[in-house]
Amino acid sequence: MKNVLVRYGELTLKGGNRRQFITKLIQNIKFRMKPYNDKVELIKDNNSCMIKVEDDYLDRLLADLQTVFGIYSLSVVETTSWDFEEITKKVLAMAIESAKEAKTFKLEVKRKDKAYPMTSTEMKQKLAPVVLQNTDLKVDVHNPDLKIEVVVKKDHVDIFHSRIKALKGLPVGVSGRGLSLLSGGIDSPVASFLTMKRGMSVDFVHFMTPPHTSPEALNKVFALAKQVAKYNYQTFNLYVVDFGKMLQELNHIPNQTYKITIMRRMFMRIANRIAKRDHQQALITGESLGQVASQTIESMSVINETSKLPILRPVLTNDKEDIIKISKRINTYDISILPFDDVCSMFVPENPVTKPRPWIAEEQEEAIMWEPILDWTVENEVKKFVFHEGEFVEDTNWSKEIEKEEQNPEQATE
């Protein structure tokens, strides 16, 4: 058996919400460990928890814990009783074990329980010579190769030599739910990931226009949502909207330089309708200020006008290079760069307007029949997929749900 100490980060600062945050974090950790539930045991403490794990499952557990937001750092620890002789033995064993790679060491002792009969300085003064006499390690207090930490707690002592940095952030689920507009590109999966980092559970919506967009383009979207699923809430939904009819209608707007702008406004209107039914509290996009002609502040304002819900743009201020870096870290990059075009990249007019005016956008919309098409699209062209145990399963009751809601609005289920 190995012991993994899981430290909570920011959570400890959050006053009244703290208990709720920790409860959610523990739930999320337990959910991640579910496939090997019988190999682990979780023991709660105040600002941390300890997970006992069978040796063979240690690496898998460590990898899984590094996908859970709200965890600050991890250590594989040796635990002992307060017995000083036992502590000495374990410290020395750890030093000998690590002395193969390290030349210098530093010892750090902390007493979380001051009732321990020795001070931390006394403990250090007794422990360090044992290491020096029995290994080739030298002391280096500034830049040691090996740092052994001894933490005296209420009923036991933790000894460990490394802190594995985890994701930090807040446990997913404590900041409500958002609906992310997921294209097949690089930016929107990163935006979704960053939203999860602040504790928001993320559902997805994708707009496609078959036959202009290929099945491979849609597969990419499923693959991306799956790839970030390990950071996301336990279960979530992906909506796929066939935007074909609306796109045809957009060919009739008089000023074609507004096509992308109007398309985005339609995306937002449809996303708002879905979010209203599925109770998301915000929309999320991968827009970055100035990244392309359609991502100016003027464009964003004209798009915002069509959304009741706040539109979160987590990568707004990031350079493309930074976004790519994150996408590589979360393994979405290789999927995103697969060469299948989505709606936006295929229908960019020659000179998209960079500073759209709201009244001109409205004029364009007045010239076409968008409202009935929008209703039609929401009622007939939306498919809902639920992510469950690693796979997406289509929820075919979705259309029935809509009928029910419309016939008996006051009975609409939560």
Q: How far is the CB of 313 from ligand ATP (least distance, A)?
A: 9
* 182 is annotated as contributing to ligand binding: yes
Interface with Mg ion by CB under 5 A: which range of 80-88, 148-156, 175-183, 391-399? 175-183
Interface with Mg ion by CB under 5 A: which range of 151-159, 235-243, 336-344, 391-399? 336-344
If binding is defined by CB under 6 A, does position 228 make contact with ligand ATP?
no
Residue closer to ligand ATP, measured from CB, 51 or 241: 241
Q: How far is CA 169 from the centre of its chain?
A: 9
Q: How far is the CB of 198 from Mg ion (least distance, A)?
A: 23
Residue closer to Mg ion, measured from CB, 67 or 219: 219
**How many C-beta atoms surround the C-beta of residue 112 within 10 A?**
14
**Tokens read off for 218:** 């849609």
Which of ligand ATP, Mg ion, none is residue 182 near (CB under 5 to 8 Å by kind)?
ligand ATP
If binding is defined by CB under 5 A, does position 195 make contact with Mg ion?
no
* 252 is annotated as contributing to ligand binding: no
Q: Between residue 352 and residue 391, which ones bind Mg ion under the rule CB under 5 A?
A: none
Q: Would you say 261 and 352 are in contact if contact means Cβ atoms under 8 Å apart?
A: yes
Which residues does 18 contact at the CB level (< 8 Å), separation at least 6? Answer: 11, 12
Interface with ligand ATP by CB under 6 A: which range of 7-15, 33-41, 185-193, 224-232? 185-193
Q: How many residues bind ligand ATP (CB under 6 A)?
A: 18
Residue closer to Mg ion, measured from CB, 234 or 291: 291
If binding is defined by CB under 5 A, does position 183 make contact with Mg ion?
yes
* 207 is annotated as contributing to ligand binding: yes
* 181 is annotated as contributing to ligand binding: yes
Helix (H) or strand (E) holding 134: helix 120-134
d(CA 259, CA 108): 63
Which of ligand ATP, Mg ion, none is residue 78 near (CB under 5 to 8 Å by kind)?
none
If binding is defined by CB under 5 A, does position 336 make contact with Mg ion?
no
Q: Between residue 334 and residue 393, which ones bind ligand ATP under the rule CB under 6 A?
A: 342-344
Which residues does 261 contact at the CB level (< 8 Å), separation at least 6? Answer: 294, 299, 302, 303, 352, 353, 356, 361
Please choose, from the candidates 276, 270, 225, 224, the residue with its C-alpha nearest in 3D space to the C-alpha of residue 247: 270
Residue with the CB atom nearest Mg ion in the bound state: 185
Q: How far is the CB of 224 from Mg ion (least distance, A)?
A: 12
Which residues does 141 contact at the CB level (< 8 Å), separation at least 6? Answer: 106
Please choose, from the candidates 90, 392, 382, the residue with its C-alpha nearest in 3D space to the C-alpha of residue 229: 392
Residue with the CB atom nearest ligand ATP in the bound state: 185
Q: How far is the CB of 2 from ligand ATP (least distance, A)?
A: 40
Strand 391-394 to 2-8 pairing: unpaired
| Residue from 144, 173, 178, 185 binding ligand ATP (CB under 6 A) | 185
CA separation, residue 317 to residues 127, 254, 307 (Å):
50, 33, 21
Please choose, from the candidates 201, 340, 183, 323, the residue with its C-alpha nearest in 3D space to the C-alpha of residue 267: 183
H helices within 208-258, ranges in order? 215-227, 244-250
**Tokens read off for 114:** 């001051």
Residue closer to Mg ion, measured from CB, 29 or 190: 190
d(CA 324, CA 191): 11
How many residues appear in the chain?
414
**Tokens read off for 143:** 């830049």
If binding is defined by CB under 6 A, does position 182 make contact with ligand ATP?
yes
* 295 is annotated as contributing to ligand binding: yes
Q: Coil, strand or helix: which one is 85?
A: helix
Q: How far is the CB of 341 from ligand ATP (least distance, A)?
A: 10
Helices 370-380 and 259-278 cross at an angle (nearest 10°) of 40
* 227 is annotated as contributing to ligand binding: no
* 204 is annotated as contributing to ligand binding: no
Q: How far is CA 245 from the centre of its chain?
A: 33
Q: Between residue 265 and residue 294, which ones bind ligand ATP under the rule CB under 6 A?
A: 285-287, 291-292, 294
Residues annotated within a binding site: 181-182, 206-207, 264, 286, 295
Residues annotated within a binding site for ATP: 181-182, 206-207, 264, 286, 295
Q: What residues line the site for ligand ATP (CB under 6 A)?
A: 181-183, 185-188, 206-207, 285-287, 291-292, 294, 342-344
Q: What residues line the site for Mg ion (CB under 5 A)?
A: 183, 185, 344
